[in-house]
Amino acid sequence: MPEEEIVPKQPVSIPASVTVKKLSELLRLPVATIITELMKNNILASINEEVDFDTASIIADDLGFEATPAEEAVEEGRLTIEGLDQLIALEKDSGKNLSPRPPIVTILGHVDHGKTTLLDTIRKTSVAAGEAGGITQHISAYQVKKHKQLITFVDTPGHEAFAAMRKRGLTIADIAILVVAADDGVRPQTKEVIEYLKEHKLPVIVAINKIDKPDAKPERVKQELAEHGILFEEWGGETMCTEISAKNNINIDKLLDNILLLAEVEDFRADTKRDGLAIVLESNLDPQKGPVATALVRTGTLKVGQDIVAGGAFGRIRRIEDWSGKTIETAGPSVPATIYGFNVAPQVNDVIQVVSGKSLARTKSKEAGAKKMTKIQEEDGEKQKLAVILKADVQGSLEAIEQILSAIQSDEVALNIISSGVGAITESDVKIAESAHALILGFNSEPTSVAKRMADGSGIEIETYNIIYKLVEAVKERLTSMLAPEIVRTDYGRLSVLAIFKTGKHDMIVGGRVSEGKLIRGSLIEIKRDDEIVGQGKMQNLQRNKENADEVGQGNECGVVFEGSAKIQVGDTLICYKEEEKKRTL
């Protein structure tokens, strides 16, 4: 007998989630055939219901197809830093939609040659007073302005994010400042840095530090560097050299000018119009603010309200702060920023990227597993959606409930009834709820014993009602809980600062006269200088005539204990206010 001919399976590309109708179109088979095959696998799904890739691939295989996942525009949060590097290289080569961006500068060199002192001096001389908070407290990432142009500094040497990147042969810096002490010359660590710079072809500016010391020999240092392949412009090479004293602020301005000059030659650019891509430099779980990620935006723009993923973490950007701790709405290329809104703290070197609401919903569903929680599904557009499966005893009740629920309107949240029907709550409803991460609502409809066991095991919530308005109110309460609270600010008064009595690391005692309204102990404080807010903090105590006071009115002099990293100056105005969260309603 001749051997039976093996028919190769037809390839088909299937998305991560697909409706039964769309699957039938992809396989070019009748919808009834797909539904029958699903039923054979104990899955009941209607024409407009979605099944995941795993289910769809099993059905496709049974019907003679070999399924492969369709590539999506964004791989759900799994973009690596290597992949990001390649993407940025392609972006640069394309030359499309590119705009100038600030250079990212790192300072390298042998230990004790003055790297940290140089960073501190640049920050103190080039950053406005009162802006020493924010990211700088953690990783010395900040921006300075010179000739109305920004420069981003990131202190990389001892930081774990960059140690890990160097091991993988990567760098996020555009320009390196190689610090060499004029009284010590080229040391072993200096040689390592030079090899690193050569390997990565990283543009470099040499800063010969400590030139004010009696035994400084800058010419000898230049000779030693030349022997290791660093040839200066004055000797016919391409490397700029600045002789500085970080400690005594000598030629720091000239160094900044050289950075801008090199940046102009290199012409660093990025696409500000695309969705932002950023590298996590540091992350932690703040007891008050939740998961916090400090990141450096490499290209594109991150915006408040965007859905994001980074490695295994996901969320929606709730707040962005710049390096100084000021709240900003967007963060563009080369900007170091603090991101709030993740479900958990992402890992160092994870890539933050923007995803569609639908991709985020799938990520959430996979992450949640059997956790019991409010079922929020985020889908296309800006709205958060509450995914619901609705079952009722009769069609008339079902239609009435759907009509009432459809009248609930909001610009930020919405109800997404992914499935509805008449009869008991069944295993099929639970399976759909599990895959769609949905809440099951029953009106005069109870789960079967099997469905109840499945729901308990899967962490699926089932709520049943016998009065329509109570079901509707329960839905409204869930939708309301998804609304971000409104922050209501009330200004109390202003203090003109006349004297500084104590300056601590995180607190100050100042004296002044109440110029407007009144000061109330425990209030929040903004520091206003030359019509600009330069810092924020909290009033720890209030005194009048050397005695504690709950409040001090207009025209009176008083003392204020201020808590915060910003530094107050004589002539500043302290604005005293409170902020309250107000629960919003639909």
Buried b vs exposed e over 404-428: b needs ≥16 C-beta within 10 Å?
ebeeeebeebbbbbbbbbeeebbbb
Judge if 102-267 and 376-482 fold alike in CATH terms: yes
- pLDDT of 471 higher than 60: yes
CATH architecture of 277-355: Beta Barrel (2.40)
- pLDDT of 331 higher than 80: yes
What does the pLDDT look like over 440-457, one tens digit per residue? 999 999 988 767 888 888
Give dist(CA 168, CA 205) in Å, integer.
24
| Contacts for 349 with CB less than 8 Å, ≥ 6 apart | 81, 161, 164, 165, 279, 280
Mean pLDDT, residues 125-129: 52
Q: What fold characterizes domain 102-267?
A: Rossmann fold (3.40.50)
Buried b vs exposed e over 337-372: b needs ≥16 C-beta within 10 Å?
bbbbbbbbbbebbbbbbbbbbbbbbbbbbeeeeeee
- Write down the mean pLDDT value for the chain: 83
Give dist(CA 156, CA 301) in Å, integer.
23
CATH architecture of 376-482: 3-Layer(aba) Sandwich (3.40)
Q: What pLDDT does residue 50 have?
A: 67
Q: Are 60 and 70 a contacting pair, CB within 8 Å?
A: no
Q: What pLDDT does residue 16 have?
A: 65
Domain ranges of the chain: 10-69, 102-267, 277-355, 376-482, 486-582
Give dist(CA 46, CA 349) in Å, integer.
43
Region of poorest pLDDT, from 121-125, 218-222, 568-572: 121-125
- pLDDT of 91 higher than 60: yes
Q: Which of 76-90, 355-369, 440-454 has maximum average pLDDT?
A: 440-454
Residue 387 host element (H or E): strand 384-392
SS3 534: strand
Amino acid letter, residue 466: N
* Cα distances (angstroms) measured from residue 406 to each of 47, 282, 357, 444: 22, 43, 21, 20
Q: Are 448 and 435 a contacting pair, CB within 8 Å?
A: no
Q: What pLDDT does residue 362 have?
A: 52
Question: Is 393 buried (19+), middle (13-18) or exposed (0-12) by CB count in 10 A?
Answer: middle
Written as six digits, the tokens of 265 are 């030659």
Out of 3.40.47.10, 2.40.30.10, 1.10.3720.10, 3.40.50.720, the CATH code matching 486-582 is: 2.40.30.10
SS3 87: helix
What does the pLDDT look like over 382-396, one tens digit per residue? 578 899 999 988 776
Mean pLDDT, residues 525-538: 94
